[in-house]
Amino acid sequence: MPSPHTARSRRAFLRASAGAVALGALAGCSSSCPDSDPPTPATVVRLDGDPSGEALPVGGPDWPTLRGDATNRGLRPANDPPGEGATLRWRTDVAASPAWPSAPAIADNGSVVYVVGGDGTLHALAAADGSERWRAPAVRNADAVTASNGTVYVASDDGVVAVRTDSGEARWERPDLTATGTPVAHDGDVYVPTDGALYAFDAVSGDRRWRVPTDGPVTRPAVGLGAVFVAGGALQAVDPADGSVRWTDQVGGVEDFPVVADGTVYVGSYDGLLAYDRDGTRRWRFERGGGRAFEAPVVAGRTLYTVEQPGEGPASLFALERDDAGGEPTPRWSPYWCSYTGDATAWAAVGDAAFATIDSGTGPAGGEGLQSFRERDGWAGVQFRTDRSLRAPALTDEAAVLVTSDGAVCGVGGR
Amino acid sequence: MTVERRTVRALALAAVVGSVCYLVGAVGDAVVPVPDSYLFDPPITSPQFVRDTVLPLLTVAGVASHLGGAVAWRARDRSRYGRLWAAGWWLAAAGLAFATLGLLGFLLNGGGQRGLVVPLLSALSLLVGTALAGVGMLVLGAATVRRPATDRARAVGAAFVVAPVVGVVLLPVDVEGVVGELTMLPYAAAWAALGYALWTAPAPEADAPEPDPE
C-alpha cells in the first residue's frame, strides 16, 4: 500500500524500530555514521584461492614498516593502488603458532618481503614470487617488522632483535626488553616502545642512547617535526637528540599510535581525534558525540581517514575533508563520507584510494578483508578477503603483500 | 459547478500522474544502486541523492496525489453512496494523510538515517497510514462494487478491493529487485483507474439501470 512493502521503507521502518529499542541502552554508544550496510566490493580476491603464479612487479617504492614510514601517516600519493583487476599472484606459508605471524614489510627497492612467523622465525621472501631467500631466528609475537638501511628490527614482549638483511645474521639483541609496539627506525636511531619507557638505540650497534620513562605501556612512536611523539597515558614529544621531554599533554584513552603529517601531530582517543602543533598547542578536536573513540588517522593531503569506534556496536570508516574556508592557521575538517565497516582499521592511502581492514563476515572467526575505498565518494573497489584475520598490509605500486592469521603470506597485484 | 468539474479533473489527472510517480519511485528503489558509503553532502547526480531525495519525493507526490484523487471522488459521488462508502472514504483519506506525513518525515530526515525520534515517528505514521488506507480502500471498493453507477465504477471498485488484498497476500513474500517493487502495481493501478474515471466523467453519472426482472 502506500509503501511499507517497498524495500526502502521496510529498511527504514526496521531501522527506526531497532533504533527505538536500542535508544535507552545505547544512546551515544553506537556509530554516528548513517550508513548501516556493509560495503559491497566491486571485486573480491580470495586469499585462499589459487595463485596465478604471475610475478609481482619489483622495483616499486618500499613499505618498510607499519603504516609505511616513521610518521605513521600511511600515505603513498604518487602510486597507483591495486585495483579491480588485481589477482592473487603468489602465496607462501609461514608458521601460525604459537603466536600469529607479523605484518609484512617491503624493502630493498621493493624486492624483498620481511615477515616473522608465529614461531619467531624471520623470513626474507622475494617480492616477485614469494620464494624464500633466507630465514633467521628472531622473536615471536611481533606485530610488525621494520626494515631500514640493511637491518630488520623485530620487537615483541620477548625482546628486540636486529637482523642483517644481507646475511640473516643477528646484528644485536635486547632480550631484556618488553616491547609494546613496532619499532621505528629513523636517522640512525631505533625507537622501541615498552611497558614503562621509550628507548632509543643506535641502529647499527644497538647501544642505548636514552630512555624516557612513561606512565605505563606506550604505543609505537611517530617521528617528525624534529621530535619523537609517543602516546600512552599521555601524549609526549621527546627530543631525539637527548631524550628530554619537550611537552606532555594528558589525553584520555589513547590506545593507538600518533601520526605526524603536514606540520600537525594527530592522535586518536576516547576524547575524539586530536590535532596538535609541534609545540604541543592543541589545534582542534574532531568528535561525534560521547562514547565514540577515534583511531590513528591516515592523512592523505586534503583527506583524512579515521575509524570511529563506538562503545557498543560496529565501527565506521570516516573520510574527513580539509576545509580552509574558515581561514588559516587552523584548518577545519568536516566529515565527507563514512562507511559501515564492522571492526576496522585504516591503514593506508595509495593514489586516490584508502585501504582499511574490515569485517567480511565470511569465516568461522568472522573473516576480514582489506577493502579499498575511492577517495571522492567512498565507493568500495577491490577487497582482498580471508576467512581468518588480517595483519596490517604492506602496499606498493599496484600491489600489496598481506599476511593472514593462519600464516599465509600473499602477494596480490594488478590494476 | 464548472469550477468543481475542473477541480475534479485536475485532481483526477494528478492521481493518474501520481500513480506513475509512485511506481517510478518504487521501481527506482530496486534499480538505483545502493551507495557503499554515506556522503554527508551528496551531489544531485549521486545515487544517494536519488535514493534519499528524488525517489522519496516521487513516492510522497504519488501518495499525496492519491489523497487528492480521493477528495475529488468524494466531491463527485458522496451523495450517491451510503454510510459504508463514507466510512471507507474517511479511513482511506486518513490513511493516505498519515502515510504522506510518514513519508515526508523520512524525506526530510534523509531516508530515515539520522537520529531516532523522527524516523520512529515517521515509521509509525507510515505503518498506521498504510493500515488505515488498506482497510479504507477495501471498504470503499466493496461499497462501490455493491452499488455501481456504471461499469467503469464497478471496475474502480474492484480495483480498490483487489489492491489491499494483493498487498496483504504479498507482504510476507520478500522478492528482491524490480519484481518485488512491482507488487505495488495493483495499488497504483487502482488510483490510476479512479483518476481515469474521474477525468472522463467529472460530474455525477446517472445510476445504472436496475436489472429487468423479466
Inter-chain residue contact A2 with B129, CB threshold 8 Å: yes
The rounded mean pLDDT for chain A is 90
pLDDT, one tens digit per residue, over A168-191 is 999 999 999 999 999 999 999 999
Nearest residue to B40 via CA among A370, A129, A320, A105: A320
CB distance A378 to A319 below 8 Å: yes
Amino acid at A214: T
Span A123-134, mean pLDDT?
97
Q: How many CB pairs under 8 A join A and B?
A: 132
pLDDT in the model for residue A25: 37
The rounded mean pLDDT for chain B is 87
Q: Are strands A87-93 and A75-76 parallel, antiparallel or unpaired?
A: unpaired
At B115, the pLDDT band (50, 70, 90 cuts) reads low
- Is A25 within 8 Å of chain B by CB? no
Cis preceding linkage at A329, omega within 30: yes
Q: Which residues of A touch B103 (CB under 8 A)?
A: 2-3, 9
Q: Identify the three-state secondary structure at position A1.
A: coil
CB distance A193 to A154 below 8 Å: no
Inter-chain residue contact A2 with B119, CB threshold 8 Å: no
CB distance A195 to A202 below 8 Å: no
Give CA–CA dist A307/A58, Å, rounded: 32
Nearest-Cα distance to chain A for B4, in Å, is 27
Query: Could you tell me which residues come within 8 angstroms of residue A166 by beta carbon, excluding any fewer than 6 positions away?
Result: A150
Q: What DSSP string runs through A394-408?
A: EEETTEEEEEBTTSE
Taking residue A193's Cβ as centre, other Cβ atoms within 10 Å add up to: 27
Inter-chain residue contact A34 with B38, CB threshold 8 Å: yes
Q: Identify the three-state secondary structure at position A386.
A: strand
Cell numbers linked to A82: 591495486
* A8, A40, A335: residue with CB nearest B36: A40
Alpha helices of chain B — where are they, by DSSP H? 2-31, 47-49, 55-77, 83-108, 117-146, 151-170, 177-181, 185-200
Share of chain A above pLDDT 70, in %: 90
Amino acid at A53: G
Inter-chain residue contact A20 with B39, CB threshold 8 Å: no
Give CA–CA dist B103/B86, Å, rounded: 25
Inter-chain residue contact B113 with A15, CB threshold 8 Å: yes
Interface of B with A in 97-116 (CB under 8 A): 99-100, 103, 106, 110-114, 116
ipTM associated with this complex: 0.89
pLDDT in the model for residue B4: 81
Nearest residue to A57 via CA among A127, A154, A146, A135: A127
Interface of A with B in 348-377 (CB under 8 A): 373, 377
CB distance A193 to A171 below 8 Å: no
Give CA–CA dist A49/A71, Å, rounded: 34
List Cα–Cα distances, B38 to A31, A35, A213, A332, A370, in angstroms. 13, 5, 44, 20, 19
Q: Indicate the helix (H) or strand (E) that contains A266.
A: strand A264-269
In this model, does residue A18 exceed pLDDT 90? Answer: no
Q: Which residue has the higher pLDDT, B181 or A274?
A: A274
Cell numbers linked to A151: 637491518
Nearest-Cα distance to chain B for A340, in Å, is 7
- Alpha carbons within 13 angstroms on the beta-carbon side of residue B206 total 3
CB distance A248 to A225 below 8 Å: no
pLDDT, one tens digit per residue, over B4-47 is 889 999 999 999 999 999 999 988 988 999 999 999 999 999 99
Q: Which residues of A touch B164 (CB under 8 A)?
A: 1
% helix, strand, coil for chain A, step of 5: 5, 50, 45
- In a mutational test of the B interface, the residue from A3, A308, A340 whose CB has the highest number of chain B CBs within 10 Å is A3
Question: Which residue is closest to A22 within chain B, CA to CA?
Answer: B116
Span A207-216, mean pLDDT?
94
pLDDT, one tens digit per residue, over A345-396 is 999 999 999 999 999 876 565 799 999 999 999 999 999 999 999 999 999 9
Measure the N-to-C terminal CA separation of chain A; round to a whole number of Å.
47
Q: Identify the three-state secondary structure at position B182.
A: helix
CB distance A377 to A369 below 8 Å: no
At A243, the pLDDT band (50, 70, 90 cuts) reads very high
* A8, A13, A23: residue with CB nearest B29: A8
Span B82-100, mean pLDDT?
95
- Is A2 within 8 Å of chain B by CB? yes
Inter-chain residue contact A12 with B122, CB threshold 8 Å: yes
CB distance A341 to A380 below 8 Å: no
Q: Rg of chain A's alpha carbons, rounded to an integer?
A: 21
Query: Could you tell me which residues come within 8 angstroms of residue A375 by beta carbon, excluding any fewer than 6 positions away?
Result: A300, A303, A319, A349, A352, A353, A354
Question: Which residue is closest to B55 within chain A, CA to CA?
Answer: A8
- Is B65 within 8 Å of chain A by CB? no
* A12, A13, A338: residue with CB nearest B38: A338
At B151, the pLDDT band (50, 70, 90 cuts) reads confident
Nearest residue to A29 via CA among A284, A249, A310: A310
Nearest-Cα distance to chain B for A229, in Å, is 33
Cell numbers linked to B108: 526530510
pLDDT, one tens digit per residue, over A285-338 is 898 888 899 999 999 988 999 999 998 889 999 999 987 765 555 667 889 999
Inter-chain residue contact B55 with A8, CB threshold 8 Å: yes
- Quick one: how far is CA A343 from the chain centroid? 13
Cell numbers linked to B42: 551528496
Give CA–CA dist A93/A137, Å, rounded: 17
Inter-chain residue contact A1 with B167, CB threshold 8 Å: yes
Give CA–CA dist A146/A148, Å, rounded: 7
At B178, the pLDDT band (50, 70, 90 cuts) reads low
